[in-house]
Amino acid sequence: MPVSPSPKILLTHYEWSLRRLEEILKEEKSDYFRDAALERFGFTYDLAIKCLAAVRRERGEETLAEPEELWRWAGEMGYGPGEDEATDLLESYNKLKLPNKGGVGDAVFAKLDGYFATFNDLMKNLAALYSENSKNSDNSDGA
């Protein structure tokens, strides 16, 4: 059975993806950069879900297969967005996965600054969780 990456490793990848999303959102508004930003949104979303699943796994908690469950859990734990915001995020992500997107891309693109802020808050909260754990383990080793 393959070994899943630790939350710390996934958080490193998540932060990298988040920074690339931030960069692309600062670019000029064009079809090219809109499409690139939407693709980066998808990558960042996927990594957010993987990070949440890894944190649960490391904590010895039941694995949640559905993103809705992971977002709900993240909100309950104070790591992630509230339920309405998480639902909107998930709906936008799912719409982008449809084969015939129609005008969905423009609608989702208009929300990306807000989604970036949500992803960034999640990153800070999860990173703080691990920096607190490493401080606690550092203090207990030398005491």
Q: Is 60 among the domain residues?
A: yes
Count of domains forming the chain: 1
Residue 2 domain-assigned (yes or no): no
What digits encode the pLDDT tens for the residues 64-105? 779 999 999 999 999 999 999 999 999 999 999 887 667 888
Burial class (CB in 10 A: 0-12, 13-18, 19+), 125: middle
Under 8 Å between Cβ of 80 and 52: yes
Q: Is residue 68 assigned to a domain?
A: yes
Half-sphere exposure of 138 (CA within 13 A, CB side): 6
- Tell me which amino acid residue 73 is: W
Domain, as residue range, for 93? 7-142
Span 126-141, mean pLDDT? 64
Q: Does some domain include residue 16?
A: yes
* Residue 34 is assigned to a structural domain of this protein: yes
Task: Tell me what percent of the residues of the chain surpass a pLDDT of 90.
Answer: 69
Question: What CATH number is attached to the domain comprising 127?
Answer: 1.20.120.330
Q: Per the domain annotation, does 1 fall within a domain?
A: no
Q: Does residue 108 fall inside a structural domain? A: yes
Rounded to whole angstroms, the Cα distance separating 86 from 81 reads 6
Residue 17 falls inside a structural domain? yes
CA triple 43-122-6, angle to 5 deg:
70
Least confident of 8-17, 120-129, 134-143: 134-143
User: Tens digit of pLDDT for each residue in 29-77?
Assistant: 899 999 999 999 999 999 999 999 999 999 888 877 799 999 999 999 9
